[in-house]
Every structure is written in structure tokens, then in C-alpha cells.
Chain A
Amino acid sequence: DAGVTQSPTHLIKTRGQQVTLRCSPKSGHDTVSWYQQALGQGPQFIFQYYEEEERQRGNFPDRFSGHQFPNYSSELNVNALLLGDSALYLCASAWGSGAGNTIYFGEGSWLTVV
């Protein structure tokens, strides 16, 4: 049973560039959330997608956008990259969008902005 898979695992971008991160949810899951984790901090919620719509958004600027496809996979796009966007980006999936549902994380995509 494949878990949550993310790509790429590591990438380096220059300030001002744009990046796209990809995620395939765990088999049977239909809800995808994205989190940003800075060094030494807990993950911070970016947004959640369910039924191909953004259902909830955390305190992140519009430079962060996403998409969910009919097969439940998802993309996270970040425009006009800043040095402060350097972090581990985590995708998580669940069955259903309820607040009490257990979510399972992928291994993350390490983004370094130089």
C-alpha cells in the first residue's frame, strides 16, 4: 500500500523564481493538505484541497497556490520566491476533510531559495 509520495525531494531555486511541488495521496484518500516546516518548528498549515476545491487556507500570501486533480493528486505552486520560503514542504492526505480525521504525511520536499 503506497503511502503519500512527493516530488521532487530536494530543489534549489533563485529568489524571484517560481516552483511547483507535487503530491500523490495515500491509496483511498481524497483530501490533500500542504504544510510548511521551517527548521526547529512544527509544520504550519498552508491549505487543504477536497473535491478539487481549496477548502481552508492558513496564513500564507497569495504567492502560494495549489490545485487538486480528479485523481486526488495535488500541486503546490509558489511564485516570486523569497529567501524565507526555504523550508520543508509537507503534503498530507486523509479520507474526508473533517478536523478529527488522521492525516498521513509524505517525506517532504526540501526547498532552498538562494
Chain B
Amino acid sequence: EDQVTQSPEALRLQEGESSSLNCSYTVSGLRGLFWYRQDPGKGPEFLFTLYSAGEEKEKERLKATLTKKESFLHITAPKPEDSATYLCAVGVQAGTALIFGKGTTLSVSS
């Protein structure tokens, strides 16, 4: 069964304290791995799409990487405005739906 697991469930950081969020997946044919940011009461906001192992993408303080079993979202020198829930999802060969993890809720305090 296709599955996506995110860890940790919650992460508290001090402003400037870098860290990484993990997304591990077990799927039958990965077509793409997606990262989204979701603020409370809002829809998910697209961040990155990764397609193959070894691929990396960056946007401001965020960097996403992909291996054959997992993806990491690295947050460098976070600011309070980076506080949100970060969702990981995969597109699989068998269909067109995205399978989401439960998300990691990040809180950054000043």
C-alpha cells in the first residue's frame, strides 16, 4: 500500500536555529514528490516538486532534497513567519491522486 510518513509531528525552533523535516514514502512508482506549506485555516501553498533521487530545489530559507526512500525539507535560519504546517505528498504511477502525509507543524519563536 502506498504510504507517506512525516516526522516529527511538531517542531519548535528558536529564530535562526536550522533544522530538517523528514518525509519517508513507500510507493509503487514515484511520479513526483511535492512539498506544501499550510497556514491555519488556509489551503496548502505549493513550495516544491521533486522528480528523481538526487534532485534538490531551493526557495529563500527552504531547501528540499530527494532520495529513493525519503525527502527532507531543510530550513536554514528560520524566522517566525516560517511557522506553519508543512505537508509532503507523492504522485504515484497507479493514479493521479496525491497521497499526503499528516504534516509537520513548525513553530519558530523570536
Contact = CB atoms under 8 A, between A and B. Distances in A.
Interface of A: 4, 6, 33, 40-45, 48, 55-56, 58, 88, 90, 97-108, 110
Contacts of A108: 42-43
A110 B96 CA distance: 25
B103 interface: yes
30 contacts: A4-B43, A40-B102, A41-B102, A42-B4, A43-B87, A56-B96, A56-B97, A90-B44, A97-B96, A98-B31, A98-B91, A98-B96, A99-B31, A99-B92, A99-B94, A99-B95, A99-B96, A100-B31, A101-B32, A101-B91, A102-B32, A102-B34, A102-B49, A103-B46, A103-B98, A105-B45, A105-B46, A107-B42, A108-B42, A110-B41
